[in-house]
Structure 1
Amino acid sequence: MIDPIILFFLLGGVAGLLRSELRLPAAVYEFVSIVLLLSIGLKGGVELAKQPFSILLPHMVAVVAMGFLLTLIAFPVLRYLGRFKRADAASIAAHYGSVSVGTFAVAIAYLSSRQIAFEDHMPLLLVMLEIPAILVGIVLARGLSRETHWRSVAHEVFLGKGIVLLLGGLLIGWAVGPNGLKPIEPLFFDLFKGFLALFLLEMGLITAKQVGSLRRYGPFLVAFGIGMPLFSALVGTGVGLALGLSIGGTTILATLAASASYIAVPAAMRISVPEANPTLSLAAALGITFPFNVLLGIPIYHALAVWAHAFARG
């Protein structure tokens, strides 16, 4: 049976394409986003306290390296095969080297509904994967120039809403533990899928707005928006196996690698690479990659993780 949260996404997409008056009020969307980010952080923080830092450090280093690698691979494909301008190629590459919190939340819901266990420190890896692609994207677009406003970039990257809420949730969950969170469990844990359904309803509406842009910018962006996530998922699966993650953990890491940012990276690129066309990045990330991952990608990445673990066991 199809997950109801996916049907909410489809409802938003169909309503948007049909130009319905359906809209999620801005204040409600903001509230839902905050709750989702805090929920993910809190869940990870509770379990983070149980794990020694010596175990987490190799995972953190590997994920940062993966973020650098995926951005560097995406850039020449966009620059020389897609024939995008340097700034546009760097901006799109940064989006695909970074991560989508919404896709991460859907992956968690997918695994939880099937009672598939995964490592509890995955939200920490989510936070780590936000940062390297932004830095590489800026350097690819501008070089190591004095004209780059690194202070503004650092403020946007490290003090942006998403990072603050995720890290804040991690620290709160780590500090108080499961018993301390019991009074707020109904809001942040019990209603998680309900908030995710509302979030995906709005994402469906937003995705529908990008269809026109995709018509204008041609088939290459469509092919890249599907091909790059599939390639990145292979990389994420390989890294998950190398780190000794479970099937569930490998699935999530593959999903993180395959997702594309539509929150942190657009904000950072707007500050540092204003000449890049944001429509191109958002059309690919929201118009193609996000719906592909939500509807088809995550089950594919789970099947890939199952196959990879079976192959590794011989």
Structure 2
Amino acid sequence: MDFLSDFLTLFLGKLQSPTMGFLIGGMVVAAVNSELQIPDAIYKFIVFMLLIKVGLSGGIAIRNANLTEMLLPGLFAVVTGILIVFIGRYTLAKLPKVRVVDAIATAGLFGAVSGSTLAAALTLLESEGVKYEAWAAALYPFMDIPALVTAIVLASVYTSKQRDNALESLSKQEYLSKQRVTAGGYPNQRRIERRITASGYPKDPRDTAGARVRIWPIIQESLQGSALSALLLGLALGLLTRPESVYESFFNPLFRGLLSILMLVMGMEATTRLGELRKVGQWYALYSFVAPLLHGFIAFGLGMIAHITTGFSLGGVVILATIAASSSDISGPPTLRAGIPSANPSAYIGSSTAVGTPVALALGIPLFIGLAQALGG
């Protein structure tokens, strides 16, 4: 009963946070058919500012860390972020009535990192007296960015295949129609198929559609997208320059206010497409409950390998598990909205905020800390 009470307290506390409050406010505004609108130019500027800030903070943290010590944990963070997206692609996307692009976007959001969940883990580690490396929090861009890039690339590959299949199917139908007109009737189907094959049209368009998808141009296009470009630019500036003064005086003070407006917009957009989520809501709820714990345990296991081989602290292992269990509430939604515009925000935002984040906070963090203390004791 106490555990349930603690879970509900954390959940209600999360709903009362400014970020969640503006998100819910946007959903309410859209639900009552308000004419309130945020101009698209303002939305794009806010996204740029937020992603530059996130990239700057990550770059500064990495620059101040010992890169040799970060090598193996950083590699594991990258692997975990990519793996989480593939897990969602081949589990959630296979469930009934779940659109593949929605599943990939949801997996991308769960592969990306929540700064607030990470902050909660750091606070709890300190209160429990669990030691961790000062640079451990800088692992988040190693997981966050690869997860988002992987999700966008997988979605691009999938949509490219679907488009090629549709074009091949249309070409085949047009060719069949042309053959019927030329023959003055409807020739035998087998004879038509022989003509199609001889003319270069495949019997099954899916046999060759995949060969037309070139991965590198998709990756290049993804990296050149506005959202990821801003994130990577901020990361590079944080690593290669000394932006602390402008970061502290300009980007950091504006961050929470801009994030609140962004969440208002995302809430409005999510509500307008909420009807689509109701059809498959139970599958997203199931995924969102299981995924944070599964992802966290995968990262915890990899972190233990780093602990045994390089002396990576158990507190660092908890941080790695926590960022894997978290789902992004900052860089993820705008990046996915820009990179996978066909995905339904109600699916990936609703899954994260309604179930994923409370599970990571109330179950994941205490579980991983307790496990680390048991192993270290």
Output the TM-score relative to the length of structure 1. 0.76
Structure 1 counterpart of 2:137: 119
Residue 169 of structure 1: CA displacement?
1.0
2:64 matched to 1:53? no
The superposition leaves residues 195-227 of structure 1 with CA deviations (integer Å, 9 ceiling, x where unpaired) of 222222222222222321112345334433443
Aligned AA (1:227):
V
Structure 1 counterpart of 2:6: none
Structure 2 counterpart of 1:214: 277
Q: Does the Cα contact within 8 Å between 2:92 and 2:103 map onto a contact in 1?
A: yes
2:324 matched to 1:253? yes
Q: CA separation in 1, counterparts of 2:246 and 2:336? A: 34
Residue 45 of structure 1: CA displacement?
1.4
Q: CA separation in 2, counterparts of 1:166 and 1:187? A: 17
Structure 2 counterpart of 1:146: 211
Q: CA separation in 2, counterparts of 1:34 and 1:73? A: 29
User: Which sits farther off after the overlay, 123-132 or 99-108?
Assistant: 99-108
Q: CA separation in 2, counterparts of 1:101 and 1:187? A: 29
Q: Does the Cα contact within 8 Å between 2:333 and 2:349 map onto a contact in 1?
A: yes
**2:146 partner SS:** helix
Structure 2 counterpart of 1:275: none
Residue 249 of structure 1: CA displacement?
5.2
Structure 2 counterpart of 1:311: 374
Q: CA separation in 1, counterparts of 2:237 and 2:371? A: 35
Structure 1 counterpart of 2:149: 131
User: Which sits farther off after the overlay, 297-306 or 165-174?
Assistant: 297-306
Q: CA separation in 2, counterparts of 1:126 and 1:313? A: 28
1:23 aligns with one of 37, 41, 44: 37
Q: Does the Cα contact within 8 Å between 1:222 and 1:284 map onto a contact in 2?
A: no
Structure 2 counterpart of 1:274: none
Q: Give the 5 Å matches for 1:246-285.
A: 247-248=318-319, 250-256=321-327, 262-264=333-335, 278-279=342-343, 282-285=345-348
Aligned AA (2:349):
L
Structure 1 counterpart of 2:266: 203
1:40 aligns with one of 33, 54, 67: 54
1:176 aligns with one of 241, 247, 259: 241
The superposition leaves residues 124-180 of structure 1 with CA deviations (integer Å, 9 ceiling, x where unpaired) of 432233234455566788599321143441223222223221221122122223xx4
Q: How many residues align?
A: 300
**Structure 2: which 5+ residue stretches go unaligned?**
1-12, 127-133, 162-207, 307-311
**Structure 1: which 5+ residue stretches go unaligned?**
271-277
The superposition leaves residues 106-127 of structure 1 with CA deviations (integer Å, 9 ceiling, x where unpaired) of 4356568989686234234322
Q: Which has the larger radius of gyration?
A: 2
Distance 1:185 1:42, change over 3 A: same
User: Which sits farther off after the overlay, 102-111 or 191-200?
Assistant: 102-111
2:87 aligns with one of 68, 73, 85: 73
Q: CA separation in 2, counterparts of 1:32 and 1:114? A: 31
Aligned AA (2:295):
S
Residue 181 of structure 1: CA displacement?
3.0
Aligned-pair Cα RMSD in Å: 3.8
Residue 255 of structure 1: CA displacement?
0.9
**1:98 partner SS:** helix
Distance 1:99 1:27, change over 3 A: same
Q: Does the Cα contact within 8 Å between 1:71 and 1:93 map onto a contact in 2?
A: no
Residue 92 of structure 1: CA displacement?
4.3
2:105 aligns with one of 95, 101, 114: 95
**1:23 partner SS:** coil
Residue 57 of structure 1: CA displacement?
2.7
Aligned AA (1:166):
L
1:302 aligns with one of 347, 365, 368: 365
**1:19 partner SS:** coil
Q: CA separation in 1, counterparts of 2:265 and 2:112? A: 11
Q: Does the Cα contact within 8 Å between 1:60 and 1:128 map onto a contact in 2?
A: no
